[in-house]
Amino acid sequence: MKRCVFLGLGHYVPERRVTNQELTALMETTDEWIVERTGIRQRYWVPHEMGGSELAEHAAREALARAGLEPGDIDCIILATLSPEHTFPGTACFLQARLGIPGIPAVDIRNQCSGFIYGLSIADAWIRAGQYRRILLVGAEVHSTGLDISTRGRDVACLFGDAAAVAVLGADDGGERGVLSTHLHADGRFAKALWIEAPGSRFHPLRISHQMLDEGRHFPKMNGRQVFTAAAQRMPEVIRECLKANGLTIDDVALLVPHQANQRITELVARQLGIPMERVASNIERYGNTTAASIPLCLYEAERDGRLRPGDLVVLASFGAGFTWASAAVRW
């Protein structure tokens, strides 16, 4: 039976490092307040005009090199982002052009913090079906240009960083390793608990107005308490669902890789599952929340640092806007 396996990982983080101390000059906050509530000490923001496809190109070329492949070996691109370069076309098309591989499908998916696992589920299905043999799965975000970097927006602005991370996925015929299962969920009743209202096609006659801009309706808004509570409930649920589907227990997990939304959520999820933090990937302290890029960025660092070995069971889990939540089990 064909399985979808990870062939290579790559990452790219822009050069501008933004510390919590730097944010204190832009808004009423403190380093202590941010660290206590989120675990974040710094993040990276683009230093000049850069789109997600540019970040993704750097990450993709590293992932391809680590897989021993060239761009022309890729059959399909799936790109997850909540910060598209333009309203249309999709950012995956711009990445395809940068890599010089016209003709293959290029797909954007908009599942925000759950985007990488949703994309992994799609790639897994296509590879198992034999439709494509090698897929580039991308998480790429440029948050910094869309944040309200002021006291009004501080609860959200301190959270997010820019980054891209890429997995080259391929077919493994008859082996034991690869994606074992994926589990996807959503509940649109809570869509407005974490969202950007404008611009939007539902507004008439214009998608955005000067009044909307003055009111800051083009900046992200979050009901922090509601999101925290839901994430702390749904992530353990979907991880247990994943383990049960494969006849496994938390003791079988070599590494849990949760979406990096808030270190306090990660710690709470770990306690509920009874897994020690030594077996939980965490890099939010250095990068902040990089949304669709956060899980593959954690995977990249874990593999680089020797925390992932052949045969290890890795569980991925996410929760984010939509609400969406998801998990996946992978035999490394």
Catalytic machinery residues: 113, 259, 289
| Rg value, the chain, Cα | 19
| Distance between CA atoms of residues 310 and 73, nearest Å | 24
**Contacts by residues 31-40 (CB-CB < 8 Å, ≥ 24 positions apart):** 34/158, 37/262, 37/264, 38/158, 38/159, 38/262, 38/263, 38/264, 38/284, 39/262, 39/263, 39/264, 39/266, 39/282, 39/284, 39/285, 40/158, 40/159, 40/263, 40/284, 40/285, 40/288, 40/289
Give the residue carrying structure tokens 């396996």.
5
Residue 168 backbone phi and psi in degrees, to 5? -90, 120
* CA contacts within 13 A on the Cβ side of 36: 5
Beta strands 221-222 and 16-19 are unpaired
CB of 257 within 8 A of CB of 314?
A: yes
Beta strands 106-109 and 134-141 are unpaired
CB of 288 within 8 A of CB of 163?
A: no
| Distance between CA atoms of residues 299 and 250, nearest Å | 19
| Distance between CA atoms of residues 133 and 47, nearest Å | 36
Amino acid at site 228: F
* CA contacts within 13 A on the Cβ side of 263: 16
CB of 142 within 8 A of CB of 46?
A: yes
